[in-house]
A = this chain, B = another copy of it.
């Protein structure tokens, strides 16, 4: 890897300097504006100010770029959950907050959410992508086992969190759209609590 950082503000050098990162940025913008189904590699290249074939060297084909975006997106997904869990009162609250973070991410970056969970374009056999996905899954398992839960509870919490997030991102769940944010959070908390292993007090 060569260092072109010194010229990152130059006019239009033949070598970009940090094209890989620039393409990831442009790709995320493209994703946000046109969605997974409207994603165009040439448009991404145009955003980054390079020729239409420039991305090939860094990502191979369109699938390669989308795979990289998905891996990066998975990390941001987990970051959103972590941020929400940080102020948790206890383990139970932490699990509920994870579900709320799941929804927050889906609403903030719906296209990235779809890319990760509902697209066939990224290569989900990619090691980086597998690693990022496994980290998120293992985190979820940790949340549930801390509550004394097992595999069944993992499925319950994940499925419900994912269902709320996916349906909300697609504007399918009008019952939640109508509510105020506070009211919405109260309802979702109640739903998520049902999925957790019950306290044996």
Contacts and interface: CB of A to CB of B under 8 A. Distances in A.
Q: Copies of this chain, how many?
A: 2
Nearest to A118: B118
A60 interface: no
B37 A167 contact: no
A49 interface: no
Nearest to A36: B37
B187 A158 contact: no
Nearest to A113: B118
Given A37-B37, A160-B156, A151 B167 contact: no
A201 B155 CA distance: 27
**Binding site secondary structure of chain A:** helix
Contact of A163 (B114, B152, B160, B176): B160
A158 B170 contact: no
B121 A166 contact: no
A175 B154 contact: yes
Contacts of A175: 151, 154-155
Interface stretch (A21-29, A40-48, A86-94, A188-196): A188-196
Contacts of A155: 164, 173, 175-176, 187-188, 191
Given A35-B120, A118-B118, A159 B164 contact: yes
A156 B192 CA distance: 8
Interface of A: 35-38, 114, 117-121, 124, 133, 151-152, 154-156, 158-164, 166-167, 170-173, 175-176, 187-188, 190-191, 194-195
A-B pairs, 10 with minimum CB distance: A163-B163, A159-B163, A118-B118, A162-B163, A159-B164, A156-B191, A160-B160, A194-B194, A35-B120, A159-B160
13 contacts: A118-B118, A124-B171, A152-B187, A155-B188, A155-B191, A158-B163, A158-B173, A159-B163, A160-B160, A162-B162, A163-B163, A194-B195, A195-B195
